[in-house]
Amino acid sequence: MMERLGLGDAWSKLPRSVRHAALPMLVLVLLAFYPSYYSDLTSLIGTNSTAAQLVPTVPTMVIMTVYVIMALGLNVVVGYAGLLDLGYVAFYAVGAYIAGWFATQQFSPHNVHVVSVGVPHTVQGIHVNVWSLLLVGAVFAAVFGIVIGLPTLRLRGDYLAIVTLGFGEIVPQAVNNGDNWFGHNITNGPNGLTPIDALGFGSLHNHWSFLPTVYYSVTNAVSYYYWTGLALVVFTLFCCIRIRDSRLGRAWVAIREDEIAAAAMGVPLMRTKTLAYAIGAFFGGMAGCFYAIYKSSTFPGDFSLNISITVLCMVILGGMGNVWGVCLGGAVLSYLNYQGLEAVGNNFNNIAGTSFNVPQYTYGIFGLIIVVMMLLRPQGLIPGQRRKVELELGVEGGSLYEASSQ
Amino acid sequence: MTTRAQAVRRPTLAALPRFTKQINRVAQWVIVGLFVVWVVGNFLHSPAQFVSVLLLGITLGAIYALVALGYTLVYGIIELINFANGDVFMLGTMVTITVANGWLGLDGSQAWYVTVPFVLLALLAAMALCGALNVAIERIAYRPLRNAPKLAPLITAIGMSFLLQNIGAAIWGFNERPLTNTGNSIFPANTLFKIGGVPYQAKSLIVVVTTIPVLLILRYLVQSTKSGKAMRAVAQDMDASRMMGINVDRTIAYTFALGGALAGAAGTLFVMFQTSTRFDLGFQLGLFAFTAAVLGGIGNLTGAALGALLIGLIQAFNEGLSWHTPGSDWTESITFAILILVLVFRPQGLLGEATADRA
């Protein structure tokens, strides 16, 4: 006689991998259709009310994907390997300027087109296929990470932090002065590089008509950028999870816990740390490249220290070392940064009849979040399991960072 | 098979540190040599310009020294880079404006026997407030994390720095804040003498002359008083000094008070010299000062003053001289490049002793 199975039993009979993947998949599907029900959300609240401003617009969602990628990349460095990087924006800048150099008219006497899409051949400058630039930018950033990392990674933790901070300050200034590097105009200085070629599928359009030839040729271009960003987030998440569970990921955690013990167990310190830097930089570069393509421009002013701190704040808020927490932290803070704080402020002013300019205090609020989180909930909103144990029990006689700093 | 291959390769890897040590030494001498050539070359190129820029650099260095000492004191005792120190300095500049210009009504038109005591009053107010603020920051943000992972207080310090900037902006506004509404200087701006056509103003001299006694008093406090002895004991070994009956918490608070007071004094001198301030200048000036502390050897008081003088001179040389100088567009990059080079090649700084712990 067959026993009747309840829904709960059926659920628990499913393989573990399916059960673990179910929630992320559900969220992903919901997010993928976001542009189609965004207008319904706003009309539900009342399109013209100030409360409707709280609903993230599709452009905000694109920026959120960019920051989630960056936060996931920094999480590799800070969360997994325990190296504090305060100059993460440098990698972002490298990615953005790779897009700027190889997809604009910057080097305009030259006329090089490599599988470029949607750019007439009469347009001068170097125009490499923009999809490939996402990869090229990421790889260049990774190489840059190795170049920075090799001399500095033998420093102790807090010195490393300050060195990366130094690089994070030097890179934007070098870019800003880049209109005159020994008499050559390389980066066009404070005027930035613009316009950067748009993404597009070129002749694939004929076979799958929903893929636009070039993004700007369709009316819902922003949605396409959003889906591209979402695909990049999924790619980043996949890489992060797979690397975390690999031999390399466990080596990072071992170094974070106790550098000397890890070295004694045969973990090659320099190589492992440098790889953490390179992989973190890879995603930073990819995010920068994608953001530059989305905005179709890149300026040295985009790469301030504030961005590094914001991304660090995302990692801390979400929970160092936990990809889901970091995704949440990245999404929440970038939403607040680009839309949320202003909307909250407007609503508050509307109700209370005041006139606070809340977005002005964005970084003060982020600073407050950092301080409060470190004091009250250092493991973050969604802590990594291992990290939680460390922070709650503590490690006798010096904890995870102290060992790695000697 | 693989294990044998590794065993064979190991000796070459073990030999690497010795080479890096030699490379380090050569690189240090090359860098110092190039710097000396650059300085001498500039001196020969135009001596008068060189001397006037030198004097400006000394003034700048004096202000950096006061802030750098705050970093080095705190780092010496609890090994924390107190990023908030630069913003405490910024609040010092703001408080000085409020007290000197807002409350006491100084605007540069008063006679010297009014100006001098009132400026001293503003100086004391800034020192007291910044000292108290620094103690409060330590109590609220750093003390609960003293046994936490080492990077936790560092991250908190960054958050604190951003928070202080915004508190400053909320109270004193986001715009550039002039010292007096008329744009006048409170310190006498008259020219003492001219070198090669460049005037040397009295206020530059006042900054330097005020800094020196402050540094001497600090030296006395740390070297010759009982609480200074306690500070040095806690810096050496926190647990052992607790067993010897030293109140560690109070000693650390005292150190933060000293660092904050120095930042406040620097704030007063800076705003009197520059005649304006901004809510976000503290972070960067703090980083410059921290570079100075690292250059001199962090934890070393004389080193911090020496490093600050050097950083002040290098910045002034870079902006004021004309023979092979990158110019003011690159000041920040040069300063941070110095920071990186010192940390990579000589982490113990100019005067710090090379110990395994500091390296």
Chunk chain A into consecutive blocks of 10 residues (it has 406) and report each block's average pLDDT, rounded to whole numbers.
66 82 88 87 77 87 96 94 91 92 83 79 84 94 92 82 90 87 81 85 74 82 93 95 93 89 91 94 96 92 89 90 92 91 85 82 91 88 70 49 38
User: Residue B152 is nearest to which of A152, A363, A374, comparing CB atoms?
Assistant: A374
Structure tokens at B17: 């540190």
Distance, in Å, from the CA atom of B252 to the CA atom of B230, rounded to the nearest integer, reads 9
Q: pLDDT at position A103, please? A: 87
Closest chain B residue to A79, measured at CA: B151
- Please tell me the number of Cα atoms within 13 Å of B183 on its side-chain side: 0
Nearest to A278 by CA among A85, A130, A125, A134: A85
Distance, in Å, from the CA atom of B161 to the CA atom of B148, rounded to the nearest integer, reads 20
Contact across the interface for B339 and A161, Cβ inside 8 Å: no
Residue B253 has pLDDT above 70, yes or no: yes
CATH fold of B59-345: ABC transporter involved in vitamin B12 uptake, BtuC (1.10.3470)
Closest chain A residue to B152, measured at CA: A374
User: Residue B161 is nearest to which of A316, A367, A369, comparing CB atoms?
Assistant: A367
Closest chain A residue to B332, measured at CA: A170
- Residue pLDDT, tens place only, A145-158: 999 888 888 887 78
Structure tokens at B294: 């690292």
Q: pLDDT at position A405, please? A: 36
Where would I find the beta strands (DSSP E) of A7-76?
none
Distance, in Å, from the CA atom of B212 to the CA atom of A183, rounded to the nearest integer, reads 44
Least confident of A28-37, B39-48, B149-158, B191-200: B191-200
Contact across the interface for A173 and B156, Cβ inside 8 Å: no
Residue type, B335: T
Contact across the interface for A169 and B333, Cβ inside 8 Å: yes
Closest chain A residue to B336, measured at CA: A166
How close A59 comes to chain B (CA, Å)? 27
Distance, in Å, from the CA atom of B95 to the CA atom of B167, rounded to the nearest integer, reads 13
Please report the sign of the dihedral spanned by the C-alpha atoms of residue B171, residue B176, residue B179, residue B180. Answer: negative
Please, what's the b/e burial string for A47-82 (b: 16 or more CB within 10 A of its CB; e: otherwise)? eeebeebbebebebbbbbbbbbbbbbbbbbbbbbbb
How close A258 comes to chain B (CA, Å)? 12
Nearest to A198 by CA among A116, A136, A122, A123: A116
User: Residue B150 is nearest to which of A370, A374, A405, comparing CB atoms?
Assistant: A405
Q: Are B153 and B74 within 8 A, CB to CB?
A: no
Contact across the interface for A166 and B340, Cβ inside 8 Å: yes
Q: Are A118 and A198 within 8 A, CB to CB?
A: yes
Closest chain B residue to A361, measured at CA: B166
Bond before A195 cis per omega within 30 degrees: yes
Contact across the interface for B150 and A157, Cβ inside 8 Å: yes
**Which residues, including other chains, have CB under 8 Å from residue B60's CB and lie 6 or more apart?**
B312, B313, B315, B316
Contact across the interface for B79 and A158, Cβ inside 8 Å: yes
Residue B14 has pLDDT above 70, yes or no: no
CA distances from B242 to B144, B145, B234, B246, B250 (A): 17, 18, 8, 5, 11
Partners of residue B166 in chain A, C-beta under 8 Å = 361, 363-365, 367
Residue B353 Cα to chain centre, angstroms: 20
Partners of residue A155 in chain B, C-beta under 8 Å = 343-344, 347
- Count how many residues are written for chain A: 406
How close A69 comes to chain B (CA, Å)? 21
Least confident of A103-117, A166-180, B4-18, B208-222: B4-18
Distance, in Å, from the CA atom of A54 to the CA atom of A336, rounded to the nearest integer, reads 10
Instruction: Give the predicted TM-score (pTM) of the model.
Output: 0.87
Contact across the interface for B160 and A371, Cβ inside 8 Å: yes
Contact across the interface for A158 and B337, Cβ inside 8 Å: no
Nearest to B76 by CA among B86, B66, B68, B87: B68
How close B79 comes to chain A (CA, Å)? 9
Residue B108 backbone class (left: φ over 0; alpha: ψ -120 to 50; beta: rest)? left
Distance, in Å, from the CA atom of B230 to the CA atom of B226, rounded to the nearest integer, reads 6
Pairing of strands B177-178, B276-277: antiparallel
Split at pLDDT 50, 70, 90, the class of B143 is: very high
**Which residues, including other chains, have CB under 8 Å from residue A301's CB and lie 6 or more apart?**
A172, A176, A190, A192
- Residue pLDDT, tens place only, B48-78: 888 888 998 999 999 999 999 999 999 989 8
Distance, in Å, from the CA atom of B55 to the CA atom of A50, rounded to the nearest integer, reads 58
Closest chain B residue to A266, measured at CA: B6
User: Residue B174 is nearest to which of A360, A366, A367, comparing CB atoms?
Assistant: A360
Q: pLDDT at position B356, please? A: 39
Contact across the interface for B155 and A84, Cβ inside 8 Å: yes
Q: pLDDT at position B172, please? A: 92
Partners of residue B158 in chain A, C-beta under 8 Å = 86, 309, 312, 367, 370
Q: Are A99 and A198 within 8 A, CB to CB?
A: no
* Phi, psi angle pair for B161, to nearest 5°: -60, -45
Domains in chain A: boundaries: 56-304
Distance, in Å, from the CA atom of A316 to the CA atom of A330, rounded to the nearest integer, reads 10
How close B292 comes to chain A (CA, Å)? 13
- Residue pLDDT, tens place only, B295-343: 998 888 889 999 999 999 999 988 888 777 787 788 889 999 998 888 8
Partners of residue A390 in chain B, C-beta under 8 Å = 149
